[in-house]
Structure 1
Amino acid sequence: MATQNVSEEQLQSQFTYIDAVARLLGDKHPKAYTHTFGCQQNEADTERIRGMLSEMGYEMTDTPDEADFILFNTCAVREHAEDRAFGNVGALRHLKKERAGIVIAMCGCMAQQEKNVEKIKKSYPQVNLLFGTHALWRFPSLLYRVLTEKKRVFDIGGEDDIAEGLPVLRAKGAKAWLSIMYGCNNFCTYCIVPYVRGRERSRRPEEIEKELRELVAAGYKEITLLGQNVNSYGKDLGIDVDFADLLRRLNAVPGDFWLRFMTSHPKDASPKLFSAMAECDKVAKQLHLPFQSGSDEILHRMNRRYTAEHYKSLIADARSKMPDITLSSDIIVGFPGETDEDFEQTLKLVQDTRFDLLFTFLYSPRTGTPAASYEDNATPQDKQRRFERLLKAQDEIVAEKQAAYQGKKLRLLVDGNAKGPEYPFTARTEGNLLVCVRGDDIKIGEFIEAEIEKTSLRCLFAHKL
């Protein structure tokens, strides 16, 4: 079944509510504070909520103490993210007592789970509004109800539809997020995402291209295409366009910018994709391809649907077409049933592949996923010992790879201010490596040529040429 879009009539009704909220607020000039937990998709969702708030007349603030509206966009991928969200909302209890008129809202993946809805209803009375990932586009009508009915509003309903045309308020700077699809069909046994974000649904390529052109015209230089599994883009559209085709189409948009994407799933990565990456001059030669475990037994228990050998063949193909490609990955240590032998296979894959960057996690059980009920015989001490060995091995690899950049001349995108006075700016290489840079007449948002003059484990240091 092809993905459906929210109808024009439904979308226009939300703009009517935006106007209605603006009339309610009048000339009060209220302030809104938003805080995002979790992934880049959550960041992109928050940008649309901020866009709607701005259209209503809210001004953004960086502190909740002076806000009239406070929103936490939550993550459910790991327990730590949930604990942080509850902790932040709990800390607002005193603020609510001081200023009863404040509206406190929660949304996102954590808010989509029934267990959390009940917990918030019973234990967090300061929360006025809660809505799930499927209800995001209905935010204006939900906020209008809160403001007019003076009652708590909870909405985690909705279909797996796409809403085009929502206002967006992006952060200023060099970088922007561009969602190309939503949801996930993979059902990895440890992951809650398909249950809270729904099935895969792709945006039409013409809508994506339109938004990219707007971003380029606005001066953004690094645009990251977002999806839970970008490699399966287009399968639900009923047209003969896949992710590699989309990359080629977007690469043809005029302008000087880099295209990145995340996240990729190895089961859907293909030689066609790597050929497109190699041949498209604006697509950064950087690949984030999570492998999670080097043990085929654990991969099977995770329902990842590839083997370690297949993963290594993908890396070999990518490197043969893009010798300078930068590689990163995700690894879960301590998945239920993981033995020392399984871990050794993971460690070997890391040592053989030599990633430029790894995101490593100790397994965190998620209620509602199959893995949460799996038998687990390893002790916390066993898992921590494996985790530390993995970190040590990866640090040794990174130290060698970083040192190899000494004296190289690279094109960098300046993207922010650094903390140290000697190197006052941060920048990124095409491979997404962090660089602290110094020199005259450097501006955030510009490409520069620079020479690497020293290296460290986490950062390169350069001077502008």
Structure 2
Amino acid sequence: MNEQQRKQMSQIRTEKPADVKSDQDNLKRIKNKTSDEFMQYFQTNYQPPSLRDAKKRGKEDVKVHYDFSIPEDLSNLGQGKKYMIRTYGCQMNEHDTEVMAGMLEDMGYQATTETREADIILLNTCAIRENAENKVFGEIGHLKPLKMENPDLILGVCGCMSQEESVVNRILKKHPFMDLIFGTHNIHRLPHLIKDAMFSKEMVVEVWSKEGDIIENLPRSRKGKIKAWVNIMYGCDKFCTYCIVPYTRGKERSRRPEDIIQEVRHLAAQGYKEITLLGQNVNAYGKDFEDIDYGLGELMNEIHKIDIPRVRFTTSHPRDFDDRLIEVLGQGGNLLDHIHLPVQSGSSSILKIMARKYTRESYLELVRKIREAMPEATLTTDIIVGFPNETEEQFQETLTLMEEVGFESAYTFIYSPREGTPAARMKDNVPMEVKKERLQRLNAIVNRQSKEAMEKYEGAIVDVLVEGESKKNPEVLAGYTKRNKLVNFRAPKSTIGEIVKVKITKAKTWSLDGELVEEAAEVKR
């Protein structure tokens, strides 16, 4: 680590109980000491990520590093040991988990799903909603008895929650038995952090306030050989008033196109059937490049030429979904026309308060362009109910937009404030009973439109990428169509990982039942 990186990093080693092997009384005594004496030291010496300063961030140069390696003295640190990573939240967190798993396995660790077998347990956290944080703190509480039984067990918290000052404070004050806290920008430092946590009697906290550089050549332990996530950019510059992501993930930083294309080609050579390009705001890809005029449309056009059956991308921001991208997607082929396009609200007034930077009318115009280029495109979305000041009339605009666009599915949420965001300072003046009632009305439309969309598939033959056994019945296989419809059917296990033709025999609200067919004259996606 160079001197500049040291200055950009907020780091502290906190005293971990020397007698953690002792009984509950000793742990309680140490906890009280941490609450009083250490918190004063912490508040004086530790500079946490600043939510206030995040919006003032400049356009510092982001360096790309290709020299990642695990030092020789750390490469066997996990020999004979096991790890577990519990992942909360979005696909980006899933991708980060794959990277951390790759590093741990390169250090000699083996994966386990049994907490009592694990020598290290990491909680990769999500900060986007209050419920996600509550789950993590509940899990931390459940892990405490394991730590008391096995003091050598390393417990760590990472991900977006770790970038929040209030979360770090809470862990330090109420959960002193934790060993490790690190953020979203220094995942590549994991081997060193584990060594520190393992050989030190101190809690290790390393959270970088400034966004990290782009680190290529990180190892990954992907789940299976069928579908893969490919990160193409990091961070978000949109600063929607309700969203914590720009603060926890930092400013937008795009990977170089040649690195992405090389990764996709490598996945194709390994036999992967589907990739999903990832970004907090994937449509903004390339807008931070100063040396080339290159966006997501250009990247997709290059990937279109690679021999991989299916290519998706997520998550989109309507403001950055440009005409070039629509033109490229219109080519079809391996570029799928299932588009997740979060709208959040159907009211221009609420969208303005949310700082979404588009209107109902401009969103509908974007949908019109997409439909013109891809007449059979499937659109899905995200919607927030009960945002501060939302009136019944404004909520009705969301309902009518839902029907006008014809979304075939939607993730719907009741608004909950996130500390540090502008919306958290607004008066949350929509009663909870009203929010719940509105959510029920919205979900009724979502369910109806999903069922109607599914019913159109009855009797049709579709291409299904078989992913594995059904969660409910191991004798039934499950997979997805090009338009992301879940299909359950009976077939030999040898078809797992293949794209097969299935005739749909029954449509349900959220899935399809079918039967394997050998040949088909016409295939519906």
Q: Same fold (TM over 0.5)?
A: yes
2:294 to 241, 248, 257: 241
The aligned counterpart of 2:190 is 139
> 2:377, 2:114 → 1: CA distance?
40
Secondary structure of 2:127 counterpart: coil
1:217 to 269, 283, 286: 269
Secondary structure of 1:155 counterpart: strand
1:277-322: CA deviation from partner (whole Å, max 9, x where unpaired): 1114111111000000001110000000000011111111111111
The aligned counterpart of 2:394 is 342
Larger of the two Rg values belongs to structure: 2
> 1:432, 1:408 → 2: CA distance?
15
Stretch deviating more after TM superposition (439-448 or 69-78) = 439-448
> 1:2, 1:314 → 2: CA distance?
33
2:351 to 276, 296, 299: 299
Structure 1 residues 444, 92: CA separation in 2 closer, same or farther (over 3 Å shift)? Answer: same
> 1:3, 1:131 → 2: CA distance?
23
Work out whether 1:202 is the aligned partner of 2:260: no
Work out whether 1:70 is the aligned partner of 2:121: yes
2:172 maps to amino acid? K
Work out whether 1:32 is the aligned partner of 2:90: no
Q: How far has the Cα of 1:39 moved from its partner? A: 0.3
1:57-89: CA deviation from partner (whole Å, max 9, x where unpaired): 000001111100100000000000000011111
> 2:107, 2:193 → 1: CA distance?
13
Secondary structure of 1:332 counterpart: strand
> 1:63, 1:220 → 2: CA distance?
28
Work out whether 1:102 is the aligned partner of 2:167: no
Contact 2:211 2:251 in 1 (8 A): no
2:168 to 98, 117, 128: 117
Q: How does 1:37-436 map to 2 (within 5 A)?
A: 37-157=88-208, 158-238=210-290, 239-253=292-306, 255-421=307-473, 424-436=476-488
> 2:135, 2:288 → 1: CA distance?
35
Structure 1 residues 307, 91: CA separation in 2 closer, same or farther (over 3 Å shift)? Answer: same
> 2:165, 2:234 → 1: CA distance?
21
2:294 maps to amino acid? V
Secondary structure of 2:503 counterpart: strand
Q: How far has the Cα of 1:127 moved from its partner? A: 1.1
Secondary structure of 2:239 counterpart: coil
1:5 to 55, 63, 74: 63
> 1:2, 1:243 → 2: CA distance?
22
1:5 maps to amino acid? K
> 2:458, 2:468 → 1: CA distance?
22
Count the aligned residue pairs.
457
Contact 1:426 1:434 in 2 (8 A): yes
Q: How far has the Cα of 1:147 moved from its partner? A: 1.7
> 1:82, 1:114 → 2: CA distance?
13
Gapped runs of 5+ residues in structure 2?
1-58, 518-525
Structure 1 residues 7, 216: CA separation in 2 closer, same or farther (over 3 Å shift)? Answer: closer
1:82 maps to amino acid? E
Secondary structure of 1:172 counterpart: coil
> 1:204, 1:108 → 2: CA distance?
24
Q: TM-score, normalised by structure 1?
A: 0.95
Stretch deviating more after TM superposition (67-76 or 280-289) = 280-289
The aligned counterpart of 1:464 is 516
Contact 2:77 2:108 in 1 (8 A): no
Structure 1 residues 6, 421: CA separation in 2 closer, same or farther (over 3 Å shift)? Answer: closer
Q: TM-score, normalised by structure 2?
A: 0.85
Gapped runs of 5+ residues in structure 1?
none
> 2:372, 2:84 → 1: CA distance?
47
Q: How far has the Cα of 1:256 moved from its partner? A: 3.6
1:20 to 73, 76, 100: 73
Contact 2:66 2:217 in 1 (8 A): no
> 1:413, 1:246 → 2: CA distance?
24
1:370 maps to amino acid? P
Q: How far has the Cα of 1:463 moved from its partner? A: 1.1
Q: How far has the Cα of 1:423 moved from its partner? A: 6.7
Contact 2:125 2:161 in 1 (8 A): yes
Structure 1 residues 121, 278: CA separation in 2 closer, same or farther (over 3 Å shift)? Answer: same
1:404-431: CA deviation from partner (whole Å, max 9, x where unpaired): 1111111111112114559711110101
1:160-205: CA deviation from partner (whole Å, max 9, x where unpaired): 4111111111111421110000000000000000001000000000
Contact 1:3 1:236 in 2 (8 A): no
Contact 1:182 1:202 in 2 (8 A): yes
Structure 1 residues 351, 71: CA separation in 2 closer, same or farther (over 3 Å shift)? Answer: same
Contact 2:477 2:491 in 1 (8 A): no
RMSD between aligned residues: 1.5
Structure 1 residues 237, 142: CA separation in 2 closer, same or farther (over 3 Å shift)? Answer: same
Contact 1:51 1:168 in 2 (8 A): yes
> 2:76, 2:428 → 1: CA distance?
57
Contact 2:242 2:418 in 1 (8 A): yes
> 2:513, 2:384 → 1: CA distance?
31
> 2:471, 2:237 → 1: CA distance?
41
> 2:472, 2:217 → 1: CA distance?
41
2:503 maps to amino acid? E
> 1:376, 1:124 → 2: CA distance?
30
Contact 1:284 1:430 in 2 (8 A): yes
Secondary structure of 1:454 counterpart: strand
Q: How far has the Cα of 1:375 moved from its partner? A: 1.7
> 2:474, 2:261 → 1: CA distance?
40
> 1:384, 1:313 → 2: CA distance?
30
